Structure 1
């Protein structure tokens, strides 16, 4: 097997386990809400720990991928991630829980930026687009994690045992795949942030991932609660499972869709699917309309992040790792505002009304993407 194929398989393993870890945490949010007797606003406060921890990890991740080969922070942050997930399961008070969630978010941010830096660099070895397939495997890992969590919950296995199993399996997969990861990918230029007038190229891409993260992150955190409290389903992981299933399936086709329809049209189609799905689930809060709505939103958000990361890798001002690190700042702000804001809106009104936030975020892909491609076209004609 050729070297680039081995590198692709190894990196695919990391994308898969990243999704598996994140969904294992997200699928247990309703359990944490119940165990610690949190209302929607209090849960929103807890969820603030995720973006804050990510924000702290952001400058560190940018420094690490510029100073070392990306596989070094990739493995070390994953080991910290496994420890943090285990700690969440054993937390006995709200202070320990917040600390564990913060470290979980901190490590997953370094892990994800290192992983995406590898994917953008490896893309240069292939003529066809492959980044979408990596994100498809992230979603597949997430889907597998939700299915596994659903089984664990059905068997009434305690959360701390659940998270220990996930951490152990993840560490085995990560350590066995490390040897074959891409090496010598440290960039020699474009590793310093340049202050001054905002770069429109980075600004527009940043806004796209901001709205994508607001929508996607909110769905991760609140889909289980929505299915449990609005739709009234006992198996509350079902909504999250459907969302992840259709996002995963769509991401495997996203590379071909981008090549066939072009990125500008793909952003418009993504926006349309999200808007239709959200309108359906909030207008008809019943089992089948909610299932269809969640599936449409999953299809809509699927291509946005991988497509935007591909565009970030074409920056003439920054290296791939630094460009991804900068636009991820916008993603973290989306995560910072989205899930807690949903909690506050749900507390003031109700959870159905709060999901309008995702509708607005999804619709913003159209004007922002049009501004980006207009700017890109104007830059090339200069």
Structure 2
């Protein structure tokens, strides 16, 4: 049986390569927009397929993880996810592109739930928070994916070749890591959603996840478009790359930061960074101001989801996999509302004005976290 250190390393390896895959898709969105000659509203309508498909996958994903453990659904969804990435890169019609995006989002949600369940279960063997490190590796993969796209754009490598190569690389890496994943992690209880009044603890965690998803998902989908069309930078991945770099850096530092200032203050800091970063980018739509603003947003969004997932794993009502599945519903709702609305507001007004939605969602993290800690966290001594 692999040691906990080996399991941590190989779970982290999968987080990294899934981050590479997602950043590859996200950083190529401006190319897809240009290739299919979409306006902002049409792009928003196309992007709404991702959260809808993710929402459809949730009951199925939660059932798979609770029925068959998290290991097998993870590896199967990774394989199908990689094939979907190939289809996105090689689609020659809106129909095929929509099929590829829908399948990619459906399997991304399944593999994310399975992978985070692995991380939450492994966390129990460590005294220090390691979930932030896992999400940091995902963001580090995002940096590599965005940097590679920047390099390939410079040398005009086609999206078709790019996405096929990344998909093959992800399949090989994850197949190598598969034997080292946690086995038999199916919990004995807490596997079913209890119908009735929503659990207030999970509900408030869900609201935090929702606000973070509006900001994080919106930056994934629209940061490249913002730098291309508002800041008018030819290599439009600079903003996305900066956002991912600071998100990764602060996720790796999150364990140290939380140990020093606690989760409560870190939620407050995150809200302030997101708000100030977006406002700076809107007020001063220039290259360096945009980079600094996106850096603030990356640092601010870094810790919110890992902290929220860690707290979900301490639910008294649900097993970790089911708690994560419920909270992921809120996350997907945020992604459902955020990116498409940005497209519609941008089409009606302009892209700068539409980014105010991210600032509003970011600052709302502060009062929600305050209420959560006031009612639930301090008695649990999670600080």
Q: Find the aligned partners of 1:377 and 1:358 in 2 and give their Cα distance.
A: 26
Provide the TM-score with structure 2 as the length reference.
0.98
- The runs of at least 4 consecutive aligned structure 1 residues that moved more than 6 Å come to none
Alignment partner, residue 14 of structure 1: 14
Structure 1 distance, partners of 2:96, 2:348, is 28
Per-residue CA deviations over 1:169-218 (Å, capped at 9, x if unaligned) read: 11110001100111121111000001111111011000000000000000
Is 1:132 matched with 2:126? no
Look up the match of 1:25: 25
Specify the SS of the correspondent of 1:285. coil
Aligned to 1:144: 144
Unaligned segments of structure 2, at least 5 residues: none
Aligned to 1:221: 221
Is this contact kept in 1: 2:2–2:180, CA < 8 A? no
1:200–1:375 contact (8 Å) kept in structure 2: no
Q: Distance in 1 between matches of 2:321 and 2:207?
A: 18
**Which whole-Å CA distance do the structure 1 matches of 2:255 and 2:295 have between them?**
19
Distance of aligned partners of 1:377 and 1:175 in 2 relative to their CA distance in 1, 3 Å threshold: closer
Per-residue displacement from partner, 1:237-278 (whole Å, max 9, x unpaired)? 110000000100010001111121111110000001111111
Q: What is the CA distance between 1:372 and its match in structure 2?
A: 1.1
Deviations 1:266-306 (A, max 9, x none): 00000011111111110000011111001000000000000
Q: Distance in 2 between matches of 1:34 and 1:352?
A: 20
Taking the TM superposition and a 5 Å limit, the aligned residue runs for 1:295-306 are 295-306=295-306
Alpha-carbon separation, structure 1, partners of 2:247 and 2:70: 27
Kindly state the Cα deviation for residue 378 of structure 1 after the two structures are TM-superposed.
8.1
Matches within 5 A, 1:95-174: 95-174=95-174
Rounded to whole Å, the distance in 2 between the matches of 1:141 and 1:311 is 24
- What is the TM-score normalised by the length of structure 1? 0.98
Corresponding residue of 2:43: 43
Distance 1:151 1:378, change over 3 A: closer
Q: Establish whether residue 198 from structure 1 lines up as the match of residue 198 from structure 2.
A: yes
Q: Within 1, Cα distance between the matches of 2:96 and 2:168?
A: 21
SS at match of 1:364: helix
In the other structure, the counterpart of 2:351 is 351
Q: Name stretches of at least 5 consecutive residues in structure 1 with no aligned partner.
A: none
Aligned match of 1:370? 370
SS at match of 1:183: coil
Tell me the equivalent position of 2:260.
260
Shift of residue 379, structure 1, vs aligned partner: 6.7
1:380 CA displacement: 5.8
Deviations 1:36-64 (CA, angstroms, capped at 9, x unpaired): 00000000000001001101111111001
Instruction: Tell me if 1:61 matches 2:61.
Output: yes
Q: Offset at 1:377?
A: 5.0
- Aligned 1:224-235 pairs, distance under 5 A: 224-235=224-235
| CA distance in 2 between partners of 1:368 and 1:66 (Å) | 30
Rounded Cα–Cα distance in structure 1 between residues aligned with 2:380 and 2:256: 25
Q: Deviations over 1:139-188 (max 9, x none)?
A: 00000000111112211111111111001111110001100111121111
